[in-house]
Each structure stands twice: as C-alpha cells, then as structure tokens.
C-alpha cells in the first residue's frame, strides 16, 4: 500500500513508523526542516519539505498513484484542503483528516464532509476519541485500560495483578475449571515490561499487567476475580477545562446525574465559558497544582481525579499531589512516551496517551479486510482488532482449531447476531461474525490475511 502522511508531528510520525515497519510505501510531507530530517534519519520512509495542501508538494510525494492520504497536521484547515486537493487533482481513493475544532463536526453541518462538498472519507477528532476513552476508564474502576468492541457488547480490559489477586500462580488452563460459567479470556500479559500472548500452561505472577476479553456485563465480576472490587466514582475532580475536560464533564452530566463533578481551570475566561455551558458541574478558577485550591475542590473526599491539561508534567504532579491529599484513584493524560515507565511508579492508577488513541483510530481504516475497530496497546507492541468475516474471507467456514493460529495471535470473543460467544476450538466462523482478535505487532498481517476479501465478493 502507498500512503502519504501530511504532518510529521507525534501522530504523523507514529503512523509512519507503524506503516513503514510493515513494509508499506510511506511518504511524509511537513513544512518543518527538522521534522523532515528526523523522518529521513529514523524511518524507512520518504519525507518531503513543503506545505501539505500544496499540489506541487503532493505530486512530488507521489499523490498521483497513492492509495491513501492521512492529513494530521496541526491545522484543521490545512488537513481539509490537503484532502480536497488529493481528491480533485490526484483522485486519491481514501482520504483521512484529523479535525480538532468541534464546530466542524456539529450535527448542524453534518453534510460538510461529503463528496459534493469536502470529500473526506474519515474525520477523526482526538478530543472526542480521548474523551470517550476517559469515560470508559471511569466506568471500569480498578482497570488501567478499558476498550470497547462489538457495538459496546465486548470489552478488553487491562488489570494489574497485585498481592491481593486470588488467582496468582494458578495455571491459566485451570481458570475455566474454577470459573466454568465466566465468559472471559486472558489474551495478553505484560511481565517485566515484555508483552506476550500466554499459553494454557502459563500462570499469573504478582506485578503482571493482564489484558482480558469479556462480555461487557461480566467485566465487573471478572475484575473481582482479579481482586479489584473498586466502586464506580461518585465524586470526580477534573484538572483542565479544555475540549477534553468539557466533553467528559458534559457526558457525565448527561449520563450519570448522581455523579458530582468539579473542574479546576487555570484560564479565567475559559473557566467562565465552560461554567456557562455546564449545569451541575462546579468550575473553580486556578492552578490544579495549588494545594489550597485542590482542598477547596474537596479532592480529599473525591473518588477520582482526572488530569486533562496540555502539560504532561502538570498532569502527573497533579495526580501525585491529589493522592497525597487523600484521593486514592487517578487518571492522567500523558502525551510523551518518555513518561510511560515513570507514571506507574508514582502511584498513578491509569494514563491515556492521546497520540496512541488517534493512531489506533487511523489504523482501523488502514488495515486490509473489513476492520471495524483497532486499538494499539503497550506502545504498539500489539493490536486488538475487531474484524468482520465477509462471505469470501478465508476464515469463514473454518473452526478455530483448524485455523492454525500462531502463538502471537489470540481470538478473544465473537459477536454473532447480537450474541457474544467465547472462543472454543469447535466454534466455526460464519459470514458476518465480528471477531475480536489480540495480535502481536509482527502478526497483524496474519490477521489481515485471515479476513481479506477476494474479488468474488464484489
């Protein structure tokens, strides 16, 4: 596949790194000489200096015979024009644009991104994607990661095994005997920083981070089996009233009327604006790193603090300070991957990387076959893929036992006619099944091949 990526920042670089490592033909366009040089030095990709919306630059990058353009510059308008130029002048088949400004995505203007107006096939809003991820984490206390698949019916959850975990040192093959009616399956384990797909002979150890796949209604029960019985937060403090903070607060007001929310926002004008938009949320003006202000926000009585500012260090320190003041659970936004190994050691319950969330959303549209969702985990070491089995896909008509899956691939659940099925060797994949697969990065292509569609389908 040939792809042009407009923007060599964190998201653009991350996408290019992933696609280039998989052997795709990748070109990157950016107007920063430093970022272009970095790509040429570090990646197996071609980088071009210039404006992403300039036809000459896109032609130089090979737009005339590319399969996809992914516009993720810092400017919504540049992203939109780049897609328009790619469509009108070069007939690029697939056009993806990152759009931050929520006004463009308003229902009132829902026909903006159509072939007759701005021909963009996929628009991605990082604020909405990250906001939804925050809400899922808040709904699953005790988990460091929570992902949703199959129209919300299937969950993949990350949980840490501590000293209180009752199933530590138990071989995984015995778990089905101990809990025969539990529709959950362990699909990945992180041990000493290394992620792997376990076999039936493996057993859990204290300190392991475990990814399990389960029917949504059984997630709470499964968390209890791992020793996590935390109650859902009823009092939440949000540090940062930007687009993500406002999105989360607005969603909580709409969906959870009994939850009390307070927002701490350092910009006075912004604080006034969001206070006018929210009805039940209390907005405090000031710095979330101010101990007195956190006390005023009753952080010592809060169940969870969520740090969503644009400053990684401020988010981390806010969570640490809130913990010292008595708030046991916390969740913070961390953009820089350099902090990944530090965050957990500081007692931070969970973190969200906006770049990883956005990259995962884009990969959903890059993967071959009928891919409905993709979520990258553990810094891209693996992907969780929801794939639909169409009539001519090689996987259709075969039992899971006969698929010959490699060790780095594990099927976690199957959604069939609205019913969630847990995988057994005898289950045969049918057309229109939606299959949730955990795959190590080096085996993603194997999953794509299983769900590829032959020309007979068309």
Segment 330-343 shows an average pLDDT of 82
Query: Which pLDDT value is given to residue 44?
Result: 92
Considering the domain architecture, whether residues 343 and 366 belong to the same structural domain is answered as: no
Residue 303 counted as domain residue: yes
* pLDDT higher at 307 or 114: 307
- Which token pair is 43? 């990646």
Between 85-94, 167-176, 412-421, the lowest mean confidence (pLDDT) is in 167-176
Adjacent-strand bridge partners of 376: 383
d(CA 219, CA 216): 5
The residue out of 306, 321, 352 marking a domain boundary is 352
Segment 332-357 shows an average pLDDT of 82
Domain housing 345: 235-352
pLDDT exceeds 80 at position 431 = yes
d(CA 386, CA 413): 9
pLDDT exceeds 70 at position 455 = no
Q: What digits encode the pLDDT tens for the residues 222-233?
A: 999 898 888 888
Query: Which pLDDT value is given to residue 198?
Result: 93
Go through the chain and tell me how many residues it has.
458
CATH code for position 361: 3.30.70.1450
Residue 140 counted as domain residue: no
Average pLDDT along the chain: 90
d(CA 288, CA 307): 9
Residue 227 counted as domain residue: no
Segment 88-94 shows an average pLDDT of 93
Half-sphere exposure of 359 (CA within 13 A, CB side): 27
pLDDT exceeds 80 at position 453 = no
Segment 260-287 shows an average pLDDT of 95
Residue for token pair 């659970």: 329
Query: Which pLDDT value is given to residue 369?
Result: 65
Residues whose CB is less than 8 angstroms from the CB of residue 341 and which lie 6 or more positions away in sequence, other chains included = 193
Query: Which pLDDT value is given to residue 456?
Result: 44
Query: Which pLDDT value is given to residue 278?
Result: 94
User: What is the band of 419 on the pLDDT scale with cuts at 50, 70, 90?
Assistant: very high
Segment 342-352 shows an average pLDDT of 81
Query: Which pLDDT value is given to residue 457?
Result: 40
User: What is the band of 194 on the pLDDT scale with cuts at 50, 70, 90?
Assistant: very high
Burial class (CB in 10 A: 0-12, 13-18, 19+), 132: middle
Q: What digits encode the pLDDT tens for the residues 18-57?
A: 889 888 899 999 999 999 999 999 999 999 999 999 999 9
Q: Are 182 and 221 in contact (CB under 8 A)?
A: yes
The residue out of 104, 124, 144 marking a domain boundary is 124
Q: Are 57 and 92 in contact (CB under 8 A)?
A: no
Residue for token pair 């969950």: 155
Query: Which pLDDT value is given to residue 178?
Result: 83
Considering the domain architecture, whether residues 333 and 384 belong to the same structural domain is answered as: no
d(CA 209, CA 95): 37
Cβ atoms within 10 A of the Cβ of 337, count? Answer: 14
CATH code for position 58: 3.40.50.720
Question: What interhelical angle do 243-255 and 268-277 show, nearest 10?
Answer: 20
Residue 185 counted as domain residue: no
Residue 309 counted as domain residue: yes
Considering the domain architecture, whether residues 348 and 378 belong to the same structural domain is answered as: no
Number of domains forming the structure of the chain: 3
User: What is the band of 454 on the pLDDT scale with cuts at 50, 70, 90?
Assistant: low
Query: Which pLDDT value is given to residue 410?
Result: 94
**Threshold 0.85, pTM exceeds:** no
Query: Which pLDDT value is given to residue 158?
Result: 93
pLDDT exceeds 50 at position 77 = yes
Segment 426-446 shows an average pLDDT of 93
- Long-range CB contacts for residues 419-427, cutoff 8 Å, separation at least 24: 420/150, 420/153, 420/154, 420/183, 420/215, 422/183, 422/184, 422/185, 422/215, 423/185, 424/400, 425/399, 425/400, 425/401, 426/399, 426/400, 426/401, 427/399, 427/400
pLDDT exceeds 80 at position 110 = no
User: What is the band of 131 on the pLDDT scale with cuts at 50, 70, 90?
Assistant: very high
Segment 432-438 shows an average pLDDT of 95
The residue out of 334, 352, 370 marking a domain boundary is 352
Considering the domain architecture, whether residues 342 and 378 belong to the same structural domain is answered as: no
Query: Which pLDDT value is given to residue 328?
Result: 83
Q: How many percent of the chain have pLDDT more than 90?
A: 59
Considering the domain architecture, whether residues 291 and 378 belong to the same structural domain is answered as: no
């Amino acid at each position: 596949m040939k792809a042009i990526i407009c923007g060599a920042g964190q998201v653009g670089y991350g996408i290019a790194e992933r696609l280039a490592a998989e052997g795709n033909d990748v070109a990157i366009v950016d107007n920063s000489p430093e970022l272009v040089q970095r790509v040429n030095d570090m990646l197996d990709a071609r980088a071009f200096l210039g404006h992403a919306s300039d036809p000459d630059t896109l032609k130089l990058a090979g737009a005339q015979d590319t399969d996809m353009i992914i516009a993720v510059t810092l400017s919504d308008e540049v992203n939109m024009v780049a897609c328009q130029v790619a469509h009108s002048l070069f007939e690029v088949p697939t056009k993806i644009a990152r759009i931050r400004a929520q006004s463009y995505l308003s229902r009132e203007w829902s026909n903006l991104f159509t072939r007759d107006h701005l021909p963009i096939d996929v628009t991605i809003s990082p604020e909405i994607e990250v906001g939804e991820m925050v809400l899922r984490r808040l709904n699953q206390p005790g988990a460091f990661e929570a992902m949703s698949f199959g129209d919300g019916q299937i969950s993949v959850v990350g949980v840490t095994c501590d000293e209180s975990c009752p199933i530590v040192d138990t071989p995984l093959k015995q778990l089905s005997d101990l809990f025969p009616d539990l529709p959950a399956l362990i699909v990945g384990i992180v041990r000493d920083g290394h992620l792997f797909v376990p076999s039936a002979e493996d057993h859990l150890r204290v300190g392991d981070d475990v990814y399990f796949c389960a029917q949504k209604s059984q997630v709470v029960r499964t968390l209890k089996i791992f020793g996590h019985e935390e109650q859902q937060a009823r009092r939440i403090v949000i540090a940062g009233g930007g687009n993500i903070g406002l999105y989360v607060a607005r969603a909580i007001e709409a969906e959870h009327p009994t939850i009390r929310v307070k927002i701490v926002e350092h910009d006075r004008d912004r604080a006034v604006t969001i206070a006018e938009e929210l009805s039940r949320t209390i907005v405090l003006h000031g710095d979330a790193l101010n101990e007195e202000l956190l006390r005023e926000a009753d952080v010592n009585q809060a169940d969870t603090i969520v740090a969503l500012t644009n400053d990684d260090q401020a988010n981390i320190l806010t969570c640490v300070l809130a913990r010292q003041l008595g708030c046991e659970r916390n969740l913070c936004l961390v953009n820089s991957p350099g902090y990944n190994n530090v965050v957990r050691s500081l007692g931070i319950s969970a973190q969200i990387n906006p770049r990883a969330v956005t990259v995962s959303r884009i990969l959903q549209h890059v993967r071959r076959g009928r891919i409905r969702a993709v979520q990258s985990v553990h810094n891209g070491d693996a992907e969780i893929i929801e794939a639909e089995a169409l009539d001519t896909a090689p996987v259709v008509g075969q039992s899971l036992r006969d698929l010959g899956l490699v060790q780095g691939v594990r099927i976690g659940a199957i959604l069939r006619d609205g019913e969630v099925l847990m995988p057994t060797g005898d289950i045969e994949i049918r057309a229109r099944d939606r299959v949730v697969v955990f795959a190590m990065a080096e085996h993603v292509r194997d999953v794509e091949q299983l769900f590829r569609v032959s020309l007979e389908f068309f």
